[in-house]
Amino acid sequence: MPEQISTELVISKPGQLQRPSTSFAPTTFHEAMEFCKQVADSDLVPKDYRGKPGNIFVAIQTGAELGIAPMQALSGISVINGRGAVWGDLLLAIIQGSPAYEWHKEWFEGEGKTRVAICQMKRKGSEVHTTRFGYEDAARAGLIGRDTYKNYPDRMFQMRARGFCGRDKFADVLKGVITAEEAMDTPITGDVGSVEVDLPKPDPNEEPITREEATALWQACKANGHNADTYKHGLVSIAGVERSDQVKRKFHEALKKYCSTPPSAAPAATTAAPAASEQSAPTGEEEIGREAGGALWTLAKSNGYDVANYKAGLLLIAKVERSDIAKKKYHDALVKHFSAPFNPDSEPPEAEQGQP
């Protein structure tokens, strides 16, 4: 029996994509360029768009022509080889949002070299259209040796079949846009001078330290009198993580300094992290941020806190309901509070604990 693929989409009304009621879409070219410059400096956009306002402009303009809001376009559209392309799931959402869409089906048949993905789409007032893409098609195109086809062959076959079927049956809706999965497989032709997708180089400071370096941190801490609790406190306070193999390289030097000093003389954890990343000394009024906030929640969960009790601790100590916006001056008090196992009968912590 064919393997059915779930393709559900939440919609507000038949033939309409569910969209937010508030839109920040620019209405003039000047507004668009200012918007792109601001977004390019944000950490909330995909890394491929950071520092590239031109690519952001291509993506939101492509999205506008397809009826997609700017931020949704940045999540679902990639600029590959200078061409805007949509990821397969967004392509399906665009098709399903068309009033002409009636239904579609996707499934697999065969195994190994006979494996094939099949996609059917029905447009109102027309016949069912069927496309196939499988192992033999990928082999002819020279794709089988690529990592994505080695690791996720079914997904790649499915996206190719879906992309071909959608473009054949809903060309007026997609307006010539292809899937990002297909764009990445297509070499550049002509005098462009390259056949590779231009991917951004990773920032070395954002990469995790090696396992050997992580082990050396723990050994240094033990040699200088730290126990597991003070070691974890240093990791959470400085690097925002609970395990040394998750430490980013930008925090490595600060942690080495922390671990090489006995607990009674160790540098303040809240001042070490900015030194590692060559930032100015904190005043205590800065927010701890997403990473440290996430580490707090992980620490709290490991000690039996649920969401309600976690929020109660944040409110009492740091006067906030979200850990990522807690001020740094309250961080040590929060770590101390959530490091203790949750006891519903215990006295609540005093708010003054969070004062610097």
Residue 188 makes CB contacts below 8 A (sequence gap 6+) with 81, 194, 195
Q: Are strands 11-13 and 128-134 parallel, antiparallel or unpaired?
A: unpaired
- Is 114 within a domain? yes
Residue 63 and residue 195 in one domain: yes
User: What confidence tier does 292 reach under pLDDT thresholds 50, 70, 90?
Assistant: confident
**164 and 133 within one domain:** yes
152 and 232 share one domain:
no
8 and 145 in a single domain? The answer is yes
User: Of all residues in the chain, what percent are helix, strand and coil, respectively (each to 5)?
Assistant: 50, 10, 35
Which one of 173, 201, 229 terminates a domain?
201
pTM of the predicted protein model: 0.44
- Boundaries of domain holding 128: 1-201
d(CA 98, CA 95): 5
User: In this structure, are 109 and 39 located in the same domain?
Assistant: yes
Q: Are residues 227 and 344 in the same domain?
A: yes
Least confident of 169-178, 302-311, 340-349: 340-349
Residue 333 has pLDDT above 80, yes or no: yes
- The pLDDT-based confidence of 39 (bands split at 50, 70, 90) is confident
Work out how many domains the chain is built from and give that number. 2
Residue 206 lies in a domain: no
> What radius of gyration, in Å, describes the C-alpha atoms of the chain?
26
- Domain termination site, one of 168, 201, 234: 201
Q: Which of 138-147, 233-242, 265-274, 305-314 is the least confident region? A: 265-274
* Same-domain status, 95 and 116: yes
138 and 217: one domain? no
Whether residues 189 and 332 share a domain: the answer is: no
Of 201, 220, 246, the one marking the end of a domain is 201
Residue 125, pLDDT score: 93
**pLDDT of res. 187:** 64
CB 292 within 8 A of CB 236: yes
Say yes or no to pLDDT of 18 above 50.
Answer: no
Q: Are residues 165 and 231 in the same domain?
A: no
Question: Please, what's the largest Cα pairwise distance for the chain?
Answer: 78
Task: Identify the pLDDT of residue 279.
Answer: 44
> pLDDT digits over 60-101, tens only?
888 888 888 888 888 788 777 767 788 878 888 888 988 999
